[in-house]
């Protein structure tokens, strides 16, 4: 059984700062491919990028970005079947 160490106020503040830095670390994701709106290809080729903590969140951000750029309603069903690359 592991024992827990009581941290000083300075140590606790340091670890909280380090944890906050790790949470803010995001990767750049780039999407290249078609955009499908309600089962119809509405754009054959679209390129966009975003920063996110995961591929799932990046795809969500890109869908939202597309809706805003093209004046679509927020509840529109958009699918991005193309390639999502990291880096």
pLDDT at 60: 97
12-24: per-residue pLDDT in tens? 888 888 877 766 7
The whole-number pLDDT of residue 19 equals: 75
Q: What is the pLDDT of residue 1?
A: 56
Contact 46, 35 (CB under 8 A): yes
Helices (H), the chain: 9-24, 55-69
CA distance 21 to 64: 26
């Amino acid at each position: 059984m592991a024992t827990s160490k009581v941290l000083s106020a300075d140590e606790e503040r340091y670890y909280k700062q380090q944890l906050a830095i790790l949470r803010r670390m995001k990767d750049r994701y780039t999407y290249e491919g078609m955009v499908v709106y309600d089962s119809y290809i509405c754009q054959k080729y679209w390129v966009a990028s975003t920063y996110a903590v995961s591929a799932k969140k990046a795809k969500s951000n890109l869908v939202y970005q597309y809706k805003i750029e093209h004046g679509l309603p927020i509840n529109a069903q958009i699918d991005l079947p193309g390639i999502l690359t990291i880096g």
